[in-house]
Chains A and B, each alone.
Chain A
Amino acid sequence: MMIERHYDDESLIALLESDRLGSDSHIPGCPHCTEKLESFRMIADALREADVWNETHLHDSPVQSTIHTLRAFADRMTDEDAQATAWLDDLLAGPRETWKTKLAQHPEYRTAGMVRKLIAASDRAIDTMPPDALEITGLAADIADHLDPAAYPSETVVRLRGAAWREKAFSLFYTGQHAAAEKAVQIADAMFSLCTVDEYDRARVAIVKSLVHRSMEQFDGAIETARQSAEVFRTYGDVARVTSAKSSEAGVLAHSRRYEGALAIWLDLEKQFDADDATDTHARLLSNIAYACSYLGRTEEALTHYQFATELFDLLGNRSEAARLRWNVASILLQNGRLKDAEERLVSVRRELEELSMLGPAGVAALDLAEIRLLQGRIDDVIELCGTATRHLNNAGIAYTETALRAIAYVREAAELGRATPQLVKQVREYVRRLPAEPELLFLPLPDARD
């Protein structure tokens, strides 16, 4: 039987003090001695610093007035949030066009708690009904902007304004209003810059800024901003946001068609997760990997990763993201000519998107199906699906709707005249798909797509 022998403390300290450590043969293979040696080294290093020798006595006891202030603040937040929860349902009942008027009729709704609840509500609405989310963040920013800073402790109001404008910036970005989003980002950043603790929140604003700049094709700036945010999140120990920020950086690369670089980052980030790790970040990473693979022509890998990501979103109860990914799978199958499979999936996912009020995607999915129907020679269905797509995009109320509708009307007209081709439908579908990211894109039917 082998008996494991270790260095004693004396020998370890002697090794630490000498220049012989590099030539020692035992330490590199012995975790026990390595760990102990490291603890001696750590303490010896600390003893070299002035901080640890400073004998000035620090006031060790907790300060009662601080405890009182923090408790009072937390209690007030809890009360305001509870009250706001009750008001929120009333405020957001009915169509969004009525919300502003209702707010004007209820000045009592104008509290910090209401701003927090509206921000949370916009977060839920962004995936299903982006225009609702935009309206909600507009209300949040309006309330925050008119709160009296003197009525709240410390930097509460300015911090809330920053948070509300950050959410508004994201909603504006999401609905394709990039110039307005950039202005909102500037306001949010300016608000947080007035706070004593500003880095973390400004890094969150910077992520939105990176998304906006990506959409405006300011790729280098977008990458740098995402990297700086990742660094701040790392300092704050926010591992999930480090991953998100790095993922945003990869998103910029993908957006500028550098799919290999994007895929490398996403694959690297995904390594930290177990296969069945059901977190939102993991699911999004898998979905991003699938996205990059699809553009790199690695269709089977794309489908597999979409499948995993969809399962995780289903597990997490995120129906909108799961539906979006099922739609992506159907689209890949369509692009690869696997029409029967694509058709079955599109019929089902279109219904799912409609049920979730995801009208923008539902509109484009209708166009996907229209392409298949055209290949099947079912012209009446094509016309009907164009009508459905028009109705959905119209109701979605997204900034680029008008241009999208013109393109769809063009297909519908061509179908009615018996001149629509699969290429034309494909061109319009791709055009409508690209519009959220490229709202300035013009629709020009290709000569060969018309006839």
Chain B
Amino acid sequence: MYIEHRNLLLYVACRKFRIPDSDAENLIQEVFLSFLQTGTKIDNVRAWLVAAMCNASRHYWRAQGRTESLPDDFNDHSDPGSHGLADQFAMKMTVRQAIEYLQPRCRETLWLHYFEGRSAGDVARELETTSRYAEKLIHNCLKRVREIYMSITAVTR
């Protein structure tokens, strides 16, 4: 179970809560020790572990007395969206993994358009190409990242 869920929990601690790698592993251990001691049947193990990891991460920062430089949604306890918290983190982790498989030009295109919010025209100027080609590039790269995402999740399942 530790091996199955460890990377997701590490992602939650390090990416969402910006906890240093070295301390995150200790928190993961605490989460699993808590899990072993629940004394009750847990149906959705992944959801439980992710929620507990969020709890442990908040506890970590409270114990450190740190209140600055934390994410805006630091105190989010619940998931208002249709996906569960665990599913959301797993999805982001997989998208991140999928990006790593992209060609540099594709990665740059998606970064400019989706992360920086630049229009196809802006992306074209940045990549020194036409707007029409930039638009096609955006579409193709999104298609490609989805394909990789689907193949990763198909293997995981």
Residues of A within 8 A of B (CB): 9-10, 13-14, 17, 39-40, 42-44, 46-54, 56, 58-60, 62-63, 66-67, 69-70, 73-74, 77, 116, 119-120, 153-156, 159-160, 163, 195-201, 231-232, 234-240
Please determine whether A40 and B142 come into contact, CB atoms closer than 8 angstroms. yes
Please determine whether A240 and B43 come into contact, CB atoms closer than 8 angstroms. yes
A334 to chain B minimum Cβ distance, whole angstroms, is 38
Please determine whether A42 and B28 come into contact, CB atoms closer than 8 angstroms. no
Please determine whether A200 and B38 come into contact, CB atoms closer than 8 angstroms. yes
Task: Known A10-B139, A197-B31, A231-B78; judge A238-B43 contact (CB<8 A).
Answer: yes
Residue of B nearest to A154 (CB): B33
- A9-B143, A119-B39, A237-B86 known, 19 other contacts, Cβ within 8 Å: A13-B142, A13-B143, A14-B139, A49-B115, A53-B111, A59-B25, A66-B25, A120-B39, A154-B33, A163-B37, A196-B55, A196-B59, A198-B55, A199-B77, A235-B79, A236-B47, A237-B43, A237-B47, A238-B42
Chain A hits for B48, CB < 8 A: 200, 236-238
Q: Which of A46, A50, A58 contacts B91 (CB 8 A)?
A: A46
A159 to chain B minimum Cβ distance, whole angstroms, is 6
Please determine whether A232 and B77 come into contact, CB atoms closer than 8 angstroms. yes
Residue of A nearest to B113 (CB): A47
Please determine whether A235 and B78 come into contact, CB atoms closer than 8 angstroms. yes
Chain A hits for B145, CB < 8 A: 43, 47
Please determine whether A51 and B15 come into contact, CB atoms closer than 8 angstroms. yes
Task: Known A13-B142, A197-B59; judge A53-B115 contact (CB<8 A).
Answer: yes
Chain A hits for B123, CB < 8 A: none
- B21 close to A (CB within 8 Å): yes
A199 to chain B minimum Cβ distance, whole angstroms, is 5
What does the 1/0 interface line of B84-124 toward A look like (CB < 8 Å)? 11100001100110010000000000110011010000000
A209 to chain B minimum Cβ distance, whole angstroms, is 18
- CB contacts under 8 Å to A, within B12-68, are 14-16, 21, 25, 27-34, 36-39, 42-44, 46-48, 51-52, 55-56, 59-60
Task: Known A40-B146, A197-B31, A197-B52; judge A235-B39 contact (CB<8 A).
Answer: no
The distance in angstroms between the C-alpha atoms of A195 and B34, with both chains bound, is: 9
Please determine whether B27 and A196 come into contact, CB atoms closer than 8 angstroms. yes
The distance in angstroms between the C-alpha atoms of A234 and B79, with both chains bound, is: 9
Residue of A nearest to B46 (CB): A237
Chain B hits for A13, CB < 8 A: 138-139, 142-143
The distance in angstroms between the C-alpha atoms of A231 and B51, with both chains bound, is: 12
Chain B hits for A239, CB < 8 A: 43-44
Q: Can you report 6 A-B residue pairs in the complex whose CB atoms are below 8 A from each other?
A: A17-B138, A60-B10, A70-B2, A200-B48, A235-B79, A235-B85
The distance in angstroms between the C-alpha atoms of A44 and B86, with both chains bound, is: 19
We find that the number of chain B residues with CB closer than 8 angstroms to chain A is 59
The distance in angstroms between the C-alpha atoms of A311 and B118, with both chains bound, is: 63
User: Which of A197, A234, A238 has the most chain B CB within a 10 Å cutoff?
Assistant: A197
Q: Which of A50, A58, A160, A200 contacts B51 (CB 8 A)?
A: A200
Residue of B nearest to A39 (CB): B146
Task: Known A47-B95, A238-B42; judge A63-B25 contact (CB<8 A).
Answer: yes
Please determine whether A51 and B47 come into contact, CB atoms closer than 8 angstroms. no
B142 to chain A minimum Cβ distance, whole angstroms, is 6
Chain A hits for B146, CB < 8 A: 39-40, 43
Chain B hits for A40, CB < 8 A: 142, 146
- B7 close to A (CB within 8 Å): yes
Chain A hits for B15, CB < 8 A: 51, 54
Please determine whether B39 and A46 come into contact, CB atoms closer than 8 angstroms. no
Please determine whether A66 and B28 come into contact, CB atoms closer than 8 angstroms. yes
Chain B hits for A237, CB < 8 A: 43-44, 46-48, 51, 84, 86
Of all A-B residue pairs in the complex, the 5 with the closest CB atoms, nearest first, are A237-B47, A237-B44, A47-B114, A197-B34, A46-B95
Residue of A nearest to B149 (CB): A43
Chain B hits for A54, CB < 8 A: 15, 96
Chain A hits for B16, CB < 8 A: 51
Please determine whether A199 and B115 come into contact, CB atoms closer than 8 angstroms. no
Please determine whether B11 and A58 come into contact, CB atoms closer than 8 angstroms. yes
Please determine whether B7 and A196 come into contact, CB atoms closer than 8 angstroms. no
Please determine whether B28 and A197 come into contact, CB atoms closer than 8 angstroms. no
Chain B hits for A201, CB < 8 A: 38
Please determine whether B115 and A235 come into contact, CB atoms closer than 8 angstroms. no
User: Which of A153, A198, A237 has the most chain B CB within a 10 Å cutoff?
Assistant: A237
- B155 close to A (CB within 8 Å): no
A150 to chain B minimum Cβ distance, whole angstroms, is 16
The distance in angstroms between the C-alpha atoms of A40 and B36, with both chains bound, is: 38
Task: Known A10-B139, A155-B33; judge A197-B55 contact (CB<8 A).
Answer: yes
B33 to chain A minimum Cβ distance, whole angstroms, is 5
The distance in angstroms between the C-alpha atoms of A43 and B146, with both chains bound, is: 7
Please determine whether B92 and A52 come into contact, CB atoms closer than 8 angstroms. yes
The distance in angstroms between the C-alpha atoms of A156 and B96, with both chains bound, is: 36
Chain A hits for B7, CB < 8 A: 58, 60
Please determine whether A49 and B77 come into contact, CB atoms closer than 8 angstroms. no
B134 to chain A minimum Cβ distance, whole angstroms, is 12
The distance in angstroms between the C-alpha atoms of A428 and B92, with both chains bound, is: 63
Chain B hits for A62, CB < 8 A: 2-3, 6
